Amino acid sequence: MPLVLVRIDDRLVHGQVVVGWGMHLNPDRIILSSDTIASSPWEKDIYMSAEATAPYPLTISVMSQDETISFLNGHLIEKEKIILLVESPQELVELVKKGLKIDKVNIGGMHYKQGKRRLAQYIFVDERDISFFKELSKMNIQLEGRDVPSGKKINIIDMIVSLQ
């Protein structure tokens, strides 16, 4: 299983992922899967600059959703340990519908926006987020909130039930 972590984080590639989770999991590669960022060369550059900060050898790849699926289905990556990052639950649902096979997702950052309700200090949701979470759960994907490896684990589905 080359995917060592699948994470929803609206800050995408940043310190908590590269240093916090990276030191814990020692990935060879972080894939940032986003159609919008993959089509913007300068935004790609920004996220790739974390390669220089990582305290271990790291490749950062920015891929569109289709590129992500074909890369993960390819044979080249068998030996690699990979962290897959997406910005929102919606994007993860889209990837799963395109053929991504996962059994667990880490929710690491869905920061406050107007009209969203708090599940944790770093997780805020609206009705759309909740429906995407439920959709992932129905596909037998376990949803765990945790910002950094040493952080408290949060069962997202339990939290949603208590919110409603």
CA 86/CA 34 separation, integer angstroms: 7
User: Measured between alpha carbons, how far is 59 from 61 in angstroms, rounded to an integer?
Assistant: 6
Q: Which is nearer to another protein, 98 or 113 (CB)?
A: 113
Nearer to another protein, 42 or 161 (CB): 42
What mask of x and - would describe binding to another protein in positions 16 to 55, judged by CB under 8 A? --x-----------------------xx--xx-xxxxxx-
- Closest to another protein by CB, 72 vs 130, is 130
Nearer to another protein, 109 or 159 (CB): 109
**Mask: binding to another protein, 61-100, rule CB under 8 A, as x and -?**
----------------------------------------
Residue 23 CA to residue 96 CA, distance in Å, equals 27
* Dihedral (CA of 50, 56, 59, 64) sign: negative
CB of 5 to another protein, least distance (A): 17
Q: What angle in degrees, to the nearest 10, is found between the helix axes of 127-138 and 156-163?
A: 130
Site for another protein in 118-137 (CB under 8 A): 121-122
Coil, strand or helix at 10: coil
User: Taking each helix axis from N to C terminus, what angle separates 89-97 and 65-73, rounded to the nearest 10 degrees?
Assistant: 50
63 alpha carbon, distance to own chain's centre: 13
**Using CB under 8 A, which of the segments 11-19, 75-83, 91-99, 130-138 binds another protein?**
11-19
* Angstrom distance (rounded) from CA 75 to CA 66: 16
Q: Note the residues at the interface with another protein (CB under 8 A).
A: 10-15, 18, 42-43, 46-47, 49-54, 109-113, 121-122
